[in-house]
Copies of this chain bind each other. A is one copy, B any other.
Amino acid sequence: VKLSKYAVTETNEIGQGVTIGEFAVVRAGARLGNDVVIHPHVVIESGVEIGPGTEVFPGAYLGKAPRGAGALARSPSFERRLVIGANCSIGPHAVIFFDVEIGDNTLLGDGASVREQGRIGSRCILSRYVTLNYDVRVGDGTKIMDNTHITGKTRIGNGVFISVNVSTVNDNALGRHGFQDEAIRGPLIEDGAMVGANAVLLPGVVVGRGAVVGSGAVVSRDVEPGTVVVGMPARCVRRVEAA
């Protein structure tokens, strides 16, 4: 174990070969597996578990407690536990809330942010400044590219590709009637689907297995499996060609 100068390490659950950089903070009760690398200025709160071989880049903040301020409509509920798998890469300034689970070999880019009740599989990429709202599930081998926002209660399958600057929305009333949990319906994106850059998925839409949503499309109705939709509002233009 290599503890750098000025590192604050309150836990004693640290595996072999771990490196902790200068000015990092690792709170009591946090657990670091073998060969974990913690860069400078990282903060890891109590209740966080990091699997072997995972690298956490400068300024990342692991274990944020949701806090509403006066302004937040939804009262956050969460468990003080965050589990990150083996051989992950957590980018600089990434923020991961409590009550999140992340599989093995998954990469979070700079400033990626995952809120409570997030469940992310293995071999995923959440690229730079991707933001996931509360209660999002992502399968294995899925890629979500830079600056895309995934709204609360979205379900995303395996091998999905979501391009940059994509928006997903879960509330037709745009929050105007206050927060009514039963009215919130996130999109469902099935295995192998692809969503183009700057597309918008409206509340509750299903993007079927292997379907393709064109760049800039605004999807207001379900997309059949294996079809291609484009435009605003999005309409089906053809079936996906066999690869």
A-side interface residues toward B, CB under 8 Å? 5-6, 8, 21-23, 25, 39-41, 43, 55, 57-59, 61, 64, 67-72, 87-89, 91-93, 95, 104-107, 109-111, 113, 122-125, 127-129, 131, 141, 143, 145-147, 149, 151, 161, 163-169, 173-177, 192, 194, 196-198, 200, 202, 212, 214-216, 218, 230-232, 243
Residues of B with C-beta under 8 A to A128:
113, 129, 131
**Are B216 and A216 neighbours in the complex by a CB distance under 8 Å?**
yes
Chain B residue with the shortest CB-CB distance to A87 = B70
**Are A124 and B71 neighbours in the complex by a CB distance under 8 Å?**
yes
> Complex Cα distance A243/B180, Å?
14
**Are B110 and A95 neighbours in the complex by a CB distance under 8 Å?**
yes
Q: Which of B25, B40, B107 contacts A72 (CB 8 A)?
A: B107
**Are A167 and B93 neighbours in the complex by a CB distance under 8 Å?**
no
Known: A57-B64, A198-B218. 5 other contacts (CB 8 A): A69-B89, A69-B107, A165-B198, A167-B198, A176-B192
Residues of B with C-beta under 8 A to A231:
232
Q: Which of B21, B43, B58 contacts A40 (CB 8 A)?
A: B43
**Are B243 and A177 neighbours in the complex by a CB distance under 8 Å?**
yes
Assess A131 versus B105: contact at CB under 8 Å? Given A8-B5, A59-B59: no
